[in-house]
């Protein structure tokens, strides 16, 4: 089999482009326990461009230095939604 000059580089470039494309992600919710005053705080919502829910939870937990907070993946995001939020693979952004 004969390979055209430059075809290998072109194929490699295409594979790198596909690997770097944003995949899906997760909406991660952070709930802080009620304060002693009895007031419950509103949960924090994060959009995370990581397709594995456990890894998405880990990234947010580390970022906020969670101790007592409940951190959970609550909704899967499509690749299109992740792109709409302007996230690249591995990024996490809190909704304000």
pLDDT, tens digit (0-9, with 9 covering 90-100), for 35-66? 655 677 789 999 999 999 999 999 999 999 99
Q: Tell me the Ramachandran region of residue 67: left when phi exceeds 0, alpha when psi lies from -120 to 50, beta otherwise.
A: alpha
Q: Which residue has the higher pLDDT, 8 or 47?
A: 47
pLDDT-derived band of residue 27, with 50, 70 and 90 as boundaries? very high
Range of lowest pLDDT (4-8, 23-27, 63-67, 72-76): 4-8
Question: Cβ distance 24 to 85 under 8 Å?
Answer: no
- Burial environment of residue 7 by CB neighbours within 10 A (0 to 12, 13 to 18, 19 or more): exposed
Mean pLDDT of 11-17: 46
């Amino acid at each position: 089999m004969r390979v055209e000059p430059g075809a290998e580089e072109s194929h490699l470039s295409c594979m790198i482009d596909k690997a770097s494309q944003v995949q899906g992600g997760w909406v991660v919710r952070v709930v802080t326990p009620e304060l002693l005053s009895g007031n419950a705080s509103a949960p924090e919502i994060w959009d995370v461009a990581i397709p594995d829910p456990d890894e998405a939870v880990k990234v947010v937990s580390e970022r906020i230095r969670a101790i007592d907070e409940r951190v959970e993946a609550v909704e899967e995001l499509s690749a299109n939604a992740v792109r709409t939020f302007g996230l690249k693979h591995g990024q996490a952004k809190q909704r304000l």
